[in-house]
Amino acid sequence: MPAWVESQPLLAALMALLGLGLGFGAVLGYASVRFRTEGNPLVDQINQLLPQTQCGQCGYPGCKPYATAIADGDAINKCPPGGQETIDSLADLLDVEPQPLDAEHGEEKEPNVAYIREDECIGCTKCIQACPVDAILGAAKLMHTVIVDECTGCDLCVDPCPVDCIDMVPRKGGIEHWRWELPIPAEQRDNIIASDRAAA
Amino acid sequence: MTTVFDIHGGIHPPEEKSLSNPGEVLDAGIPPTLVLPLSQHIGKPPTLEVAIGDRVKGGQLLAAAEGLVSVPLHAPTSGVITAIEPRPVPHPSGLENLCVELRCDGEDDWLELEGFENWQSEAPETLVASVRAAGIAGMGGAGFPTAVKLLAPQRAPMHTLIINGTECEPYITADDTLMQVQAADIVLGAEILAHILGVERILLAVEDNKPAALTAMQAAAADAGRVCEVMTFPTKYPSGGEKQLIEILTGKQVPTGGLPADLGIVCQNPGTAVAVKNAICEGRPLTDRIVTVTGRALARPGNYRTRLGTPIDHLLGVAGFEPKNNRRLIHGGPMMGFALESADVPVIKTTNCILVPTEQELPTPPPAQACIRCGLCAEACPASLLPQQLYWYARARDQEQLERHHLADCIECGACSWVCPSHIPLVQYYRAAKGMMADSRAEKIRSDRSRGRFEARQERLEQEAAAREAQRAARRAAAQQKAAQGGADDPVAAAIARAKAKKEAAAEESGES
């Protein structure tokens, strides 16, 4: 141990700390360059939670742009197709308070699909250009039709149609989409005592 | 005697099986009209092959299978197709689904049927195709297309076939009756199935509360062309669950998310075995089944051989229904069945029981109380799950935790609800939660695909824009090059010069005047 360390303990401690600081700084600096993540992983995580309807009701041209905006601090309650469920999972991811859906951007609805009344279609291709997921099939002056499995129900094809031959119909109607309902738990019901019920 | 194993949990509800007099088959007759839903199985509905006004014979194809997981539908008797429209079907939702209405002519005129005389020498693929063409779907209650189950050896070799004659649910005696009256057919069907599957071991499983069926099966097995082991085990609900029965007979558990085929085992219902025998030996499609019509609100409960599509109304009439005693109509048994909103629905391939109890017999469940965390449900669960935890997570819609607590392994047997002192309809929570999770999974797949398509489109649009930009740049470059080669040739410069000259000329003119 050099003699000056013993004579100047304060200086020695400062030097040691400075040395450690520089050492770790160098390691961290190297790591941040060497293991750099491409893009913003948060945007991808947010985008995973969004419903991918690509409807633009949030005011952005698609889900990815909205995900980017959320990552930059925009509100998480602008997505009507995702509804409260999406807001809750976004709040969970970003560790913020869940908010109710912003009514300005629309209401939560059952999912729809577009349906083209094929007799009336004039083959103008306007809806094909509007579809964000290429779910409409057809060519100029030929009838168009919707690929139901690919349609996100975004409504974007409805306005451009010059002959108003596109309807939005519920996606989940039939018996195969029926689901059991959660029962109402006893604590949330009145008259849980059998004798009360009989008297009523 | 081979040893049998025990499963976790289980319950012993009152059996009530003698009520329907097992061992005797009654005839439900031919009703004036049959209503045949296209979709009577798990999988895609078949596509129609007939139109309104068509005259059909018994056994004629009404709808053909659509894709692999689908089964065709045949006419159960002769008559005229009078309607093809949505009608109420036996389903817990009470919703309508597409049905074919057949007005029977009462002659019961059938097509000429032809089976394989020598099925032992046929290739399994040929026989599977016949099973598929006969429209057979599992007759125990779930209705999975039998032919699809028979394709299991294509993925891994099978070694054991189990004929599941457990029928553990109270009241139901359809399989019991079948085993008593058609034991030889069941064993023959099992031999055909074993030939198709290439298995070396056939187990005929009968619960020990059916001594008559057991005797009949033992006699039939002794006469069989190959070794069939008849196994019996103590009565307990729900021993008849596929995974539970496999554990009882072999001591092995089917892995979570797996199928019996992963253990080299295939289970079939006795009714399915008979249907397979009819399809292979006689070429006869599945058009009827034995239905237990039971409950104390009936004058003549029993096991009725019923044509598919027979309205339950008609069946209740035959069995002597007394409406004043009854408040509920149940499709299936008291544990796993569901209430029907009206009797105006038909018998389908999976209808094993119609239960019409009196109010004293099966009282309306009292209102649910709060969970007192007694833990009886966990003791009763045959799948060794934690029903109470699942209940809380289902209420909270916490899908992650439901997944972690293996909700998918719940067989919806109802043992937990049966023991619950607070009368909580636990199974309904699990059914709802399963539906919720199925929806989420489907939405996830959908949104992943939409994301892919959206991104592919964005990329395509960018490429197109870039291509247009490149073209424009190329044109501009070409024009500039041309201009550089000879100034006079530059059209823009020439135009400017022309305009300038004109202007000057005009200015001169105005200056002169």
> Which chain A residues touch B410 with a CB distance below 8 Å?
none
Mean predicted lDDT score pLDDT of chain B: 91
B392 by Cβ neighbours in 10 Å (0-12 / 13-18 / 19+) ranks as middle
- Give how far A21 is from chain B: nearest CA, Å: 42
Q: Which of residues 401-430 of B touch A (CB under 8 A)?
A: 422, 424-425, 428-429
Chain B residues close to A189, C-beta within 8 Å: 367
Write out the two tokens for B95: 């919703």
Q: Name the residue facing A134 among B397, B433, B457 (closest C-beta).
A: B457
Name all domains of chain A by residue range, CATH numbers in brackets. 41-105 (1.10.15.40), 110-172 (3.30.70.20)
Beta carbons within 8 Å of B506's beta carbon, 6+ residues apart? none
Residues B409 and B493 in one domain: yes
**H-helix or E-strand containing A42?**
helix A41-49
Q: In what order do the strands lie in the sheet with B265-268?
A: B228-233, B201-207, B160-165, B265-268
pLDDT at residue A200 in the model: 41
Can you give the pTM of this predicted structure?
0.84
Cβ distance of B428 and A53 shorter than 8 Å: no
- The answer on pLDDT for A2 being more than 80 is no
What CATH number did the domain enclosing B72 receive? 3.40.50.11540
What is the rounded distance in angstroms from the CA atom of residue B28 to the CA atom of residue B11? Answer: 33
Q: What pLDDT sits at residue B212? A: 94
Cβ contact A54–B448 (<8 Å): no
B398 pLDDT higher than 80: yes
State how many domains chain B has: 2
- Do B60 and B160 lie in one domain? The reply is yes
Confirm whether B262 is domain-assigned: yes
Out of B368, B369, B435, closest to residue A179 by CB: B435
Residues B256, B196 share a domain: yes
Contact A172, B427 (CB under 8 A): no
Shared domain for B390 and B289, answered yes or no, is no
Say whether both B301 and B420 belong to one domain. Answer: no
Q: Indicate if B134 and B239 belong to the same structural domain.
A: yes
Domain, as residue range, for B192: 18-106+126-325
Mean per-residue pLDDT, B486-511: 76
Neighbours of B165 (CB within 10 A): 28
Q: What is the CATH number of the domain that holds B420?
A: 1.10.1060
A163 touches chain B (CB under 8 A): no
Strand partners, B47: B64
Is ipTM > 0.95 here?
no
Q: Say whether both B426 and B492 belong to one domain.
A: yes
Q: What is the pLDDT of residues B258-311, one digit of tens each?
A: 889 999 999 999 999 999 999 999 999 999 999 999 999 999 999 999 999 999
Nearest to B432 among A51, A179, A187 (CB): A179
Chain A interface test: which of B453, B460, B462, B463 (most A C-beta within 10 Å): B453
Distances (CA, A) of B161 to A13, B119, B139, B224, B500: 79, 18, 16, 15, 99
What are A164's two structure tokens? 């108003």
Tell whether B269 is covered by a domain. Answer: yes
pLDDT in the model for residue A190: 64
Report yes or no: B303 and B193 within 8 Å, Cβ to Cβ. Answer: no
- B451 with A192: Cβ contact below 8 A: no
B277 and B426 in a single domain? The answer is: no
A60/A157 Cα distance (integer angstroms): 17
